[in-house]
Each structure stands twice: as structure tokens, then as C-alpha cells.
Structure 1
Amino acid sequence: MEQNVVALAEQVAVEAAREAGAAALRLFHSGFTVREKDASGDLLTEADLEAEQAILTQLRSVFPDHQIRSEESGWSGVKGDWLWLVDPLDGTNNFAIGLPVFGVSLTLIYRNEPVLGVIYDTAQDQVYIARKGQGAFRNGKALHIEARLNPGKLTLGWIQGHQVQHDPRAGLLRRHIEANTKRLMRLWAPTLQWAMLARSTIDGVVLYNSEGDDLYSGLLLVKEAGCVVVNFDGTPFTGMNPEPFLIACPPERKEALLQLVQAGLELHPLQRT
């Protein structure tokens, strides 16, 4: 039964993601309204809302008994074994300033474990699919992580949550990593950064307390492509966590990245309450 649900969910999620992406791209080229969503300065555009509606309409039609948590509308449906996480426009701030780096993210969770992730890189028309235990794919072609050349000149991705924007520990760790790598990237579109790691165009991702509707599709994608995903203390990351601190990379990079991050944390250790 579970595999049948996931197989159908994949078809629906890909179709919904493409429809949402098409709606966003149309508005990106024709014009759209934008406003601040909250005190943090995060933005909301009409594309977020139109894309979200396209996705929710399809999910509710096919899976009326599944619960949904969506970026803009929050929770809906009845709690059960199945949960959809929806980010209809990952990269809203990029979208709002005219930077074509944004996408769509859908994740299906079964009993607190991600089993399907679909990411649509809208501007590049690239569909990424990850199925738990069945691999990762870009436009139907399997993805297999590879360690790149020049191990001493790593290019890493950095992802942080809105709530840590002014956290001095995050800033100190970020600067430490920047000083000891070739480049530290911040795309403002996390799912597309995970996609870069899955296709081996960056060497790893460091995530500092950024849990949200766009997280688990990317984590499943890189895991199924062959990455390891560990907590800052080096223990494997599984399931879900409302306050994740993570490193993701090819297995042979794990020790070097753990040492890099832990050295930065020693300058200003994390204080857990």
C-alpha cells in the first residue's frame, strides 16, 4: 500500500510542481505584486499564492485524507500517517528582485520519515525526484554524488533560518568557513542548493537551524544521490527535527567538514536551552 501511494504521489507532485512553476514564471515575466510578510522582512508575492493554490488543489483532490503543511497557508487536513510539506515558491526574495533562481518543493512524509521529494528548478526546467531507497533523479537521469577535484579548495553551500539572521554564533561560524574554503554560497533558494550538491557541482552544504517546508525534499535528494547527512556532532541525521544543525557532503568529505565546522563552533559554542 505504501509503495502504491508513493508511486501515485510522485506523478501528482511532478504535475503540481510544474503547474506551480509555470504560474510563477508567467508572473515573473509579466509583473506581480509584492509585500513584506512579517517583521523579519521576508517577502510574499502573488506568485507564492497562485503557485500554492495550484498545488493544494491537486493534492486535496487526489489525497483528501492526507495532512498538508504549506509555506503560506499553514496546516490543513487531519493528522495521520501521511503529511505533505509544500513550498510553492522557494526563493521568493530572488523572485521579487528579478533574479531567476527559484523553484518548487514538495515532500511526502510517512510516519515522520520523508519518502518522496520533488524539486522543480523553474527557470532551468529541471525536475528532481528522490524516492526513499530508490535513488535520486534529474529529468529522469540518475544522480550519483562524486567528490570533486581540489579537496583543499572546497565550494560549500550555506543555509540558515530567518530566526538566526542576527545570531552572532551563526555569523562567526559562517565567517570561519568562508576563511577556510574557496567559496561559501548563499542562494536564498535552499532546494536549488541541495540540487547543486546532488549533481556534484558543490562539495557540501552546512545548514544552521533552518527547518521548513523546503528542507526535507533536499535532504532526501542528496541522501539518495549518495551523500551523508550528519548533525554538527557527527551523528547521522534521520527523520525530522524542528531545529536542525547539519552537514551534508560526499562520504569522503565528512571528516574534513566536521573538523571545519567544529573548529568554528569552538570559537563560540552553541548554547542549547
Structure 2
Amino acid sequence: MKPQKRKPGRKPVASELRHRINAGRVAVKNQIAFFESQFGQVESQWKEDDTRVTFADFAISEKVFTELRRSFPHDDFCSEESNPEDEEMLLEAEYAWILDPIDGTNNYALGIPMCSISLALLRNGEPVYGYIYDYARRTLIEGGEGEGVLDGTHRCRVLADEPTVQSHFATNFPFDPADMALTRELFEQYRVRCFGSAAMNLAYTATGKLEACLDFRVKVWDVAAGFAMIKAGGGEVVYFGEPAFPLNRFHVRMPAVRYVAGNPAFCRIVEERIRGGGGKA
């Protein structure tokens, strides 16, 4: 049986999409007990790009994809923990899955609860549904096109009011000096949160806890699930550089994603600031 090829213009088949949404939710939930059992206990190593990895990262990646492949053997599967020596993967199937088995691995290894499992479902290269397990609150956050956003059992939306000096946005550090120069006034004008997990930054934005999320150094596996939720919750994603999606190929050495996402009004403020600064954007 040949893989399903992408068909531009084809309307979503509800049963195909619904089957995958349900299966993705089960696959993430099935890893929660293991994820929690290894929290703060598992040994870690450092990869060649100076990011931390643990045995739990590899184990969760293998278990999630093994489970999903049983039902969807012709989908594409992409994980942060793919072998960097592998060739670049062309995404040719209609559906693809992108997994960050532990987002916030530094926090996870050190016993800091701001960490998550992040899984995204793509259709024709675009994120259509995402799941982020928020370990700090023991809550599964999920959402996608036509489905809205669920924070556990509570329906949520992206904040829509005009930003004020009390507005909060999230980011990750360190910043390149040029990017810091472009964004300095944002740090002076608004309140900032840094959780050490790009997925959690986006999840809290999608559920209306934060105004927006700004980042210059994350990868597609960090943002795919969150981008699906942001759009489902009425928010926007603005890129500074090449758009991350639609995604046609995958490799762990892919370039960083530079973006702001969340409240459309806040995104416009950030976009004007960065594009007006004449920097990397």
C-alpha cells in the first residue's frame, strides 16, 4: 500500500483527522507515568549542539512513535532525538508528526517542574493539532483548527485586548546582542516570563495566561504544537526570517525559528519594533 501523497486543495477528511487527533492524545497520555517517574532522577548527557538529553527523551520518542506507527504506518515521523547523522527527511505523506519528547530538558533533569511533552500533527506541512503535557500542573493542553484550545477540560482563547504595561510575554535566553538591542524597549515596557521551555511559553500564551511569546533560537519541534494551538485560539504567528511552515523536509540541524506569536495586537507591536530596527528581520 503506497503512502498518501499530499493533494493541494483537498478538503480535510474528518474521519482521518479525528482518528489521528484521538490517537495522538492517547499516545501522549500513555507516556505521562514514565515521564513523571524519571523526573529529576534520570542521568543526562550533552549533545554536540550543547543541549541536554536524557535516556527518557529517547525512550519517550521511541514509545510514542511506535504506538502511532501501528495505526498510521504511512505518516511521516520527526523527533528532536532523531540521529543527526541521518540524511534530511523529505516529508511526502499527507500527515506528519513532530515530537519533542521532553521540552525543557534542563528543568526536567534538574528537578524543576517547568517541562513538558510536546507533540504536533501536521497536514500538508502545516500544524493542525498540538498536545503539550504541562508537568508543573499535571495538565494536558491541546488544540487545533476547528477544535479550539483545551486547558485540561477548560476552553481557552488567546488574549485579544490591547496590551498594557501589565501585559506579560514569554521568551527564552540568552539573546544575541543584536536581537537584544532590537527588543530592549519591549523588556522595559512589558513584564517578562522565562520558563525554560519553549513549548510551555506557547501553551500559556494559547490558553490566555500570557500576551505573547517571542523567540529567536528555537526549532520546529519546540513550536509546532504551540503554533497549532495559538492559531486555534484566535492568535497570530509572525516570522522574522523564513517561515517554519509549511514544513517539507526535516533534520535536527535545521535553522532556528524566529517569531512572535499570540495576541494579534501585541504581535503588531513587536513586528513594528523589530522590522523598524533594521536588524536580522
Q: TM-score when scaled to structure 2?
A: 0.81
Aligned to 2:62: 53
1:192 aligned partner: 200
Find the aligned partners of 1:216 and 1:78 in 2 and give their Cα distance.
15
Inter-partner Cα distance in structure 1 for 2:95 and 2:228: 16
Bigger Cα displacement from structure 2, 167-176 vs 15-24: 167-176
Match for residue 260 of structure 2 among 243, 247, 259: 247
2:78 aligned residue: 69
Residue 177 of structure 2 is aligned to residue 177 of structure 1: no
User: Paired residue for 2:8?
Assistant: none
Query: Would you say the 8 A contact 2:170–2:214 is kept in 1?
Result: yes
Aligned partner of residue 32 in structure 1, secondary structure: coil
Looking at structure 1, the residues matched to 235 and 111 of structure 2 have their Cα atoms a distance apart, in angstroms, of 32
In the TM superposition, 1:1-273 aligns within 5 A as 2-28=13-39, 31-38=41-48, 40-74=49-83, 79-147=92-160, 151-159=164-172, 167-181=176-190, 183-232=191-240, 239-240=246-247, 244-262=257-275, 265-266=277-278, 269-270=279-280
CA distance in 1, matches of 2:150, 2:175: 36
Mark the CA change 1:136 to 1:65 in structure 2 (over 3 Å): closer, same or farther. same
Percent of paired sites with the same residue: 23
Distance 1:253 1:172, change over 3 A: closer
Q: Which structure ranks higher in relative contact order (CA pairs < 8 Å, sequence separation ≥ 6)?
A: 2
**Is the Cα contact below 8 Å between 2:76 and 2:95 reproduced in 1?**
yes
Structure 1: distance between partners of 2:71 and 2:230: 28
Alpha-carbon separation, structure 1, partners of 2:158 and 2:82: 35
Structure number with higher helix proportion: 1
Task: Tell me whether 123-132 or 238-247 shows the greater mean CA deviation.
Answer: 238-247
Q: 1:94-117, CA deviations, whole angstroms, 9 ceiling, x for partnerless residues?
A: 111110111111111111111221
Moved more, 10-19 or 147-156: 147-156
Residue 240 (structure 1) shift: 4.4
- 1:136·1:221 contact (CA, 8 Å) conserved in 2? yes
Contact persistence 1:35–1:44 (CA under 8 A): yes
Structure 2: gaps of 5 or more residues: 1-11, 249-254
Q: How much has 1:64 moved relative to structure 2?
A: 0.9
The superposition leaves residues 159-198 of structure 1 with CA deviations (integer Å, 9 ceiling, x where unpaired) of 47xxxx57332333354432232x2222221111111111
**CA distance in 1: counterparts of 2:263 and 2:212, whole angstroms:** 7
Q: Are 1:145 and 1:199, in contact at CA under 8 Å, matched by a contact in 2?
A: yes
For structure 1, the 5+ residue unaligned runs are: none
Shift of 1:54: 1.9
Say whether the 8 Å CA contact 2:144–2:231 is kept in structure 1: no
Q: Normalising by the residue count of structure 1, what TM-score does the alignment of the two structures yield? A: 0.83
CA distance in 1, matches of 2:128, 2:144: 6
What is the aligned length?
A: 260
Contact 2:162–2:265 (CA<8 Å) still a contact in 1?
A: no
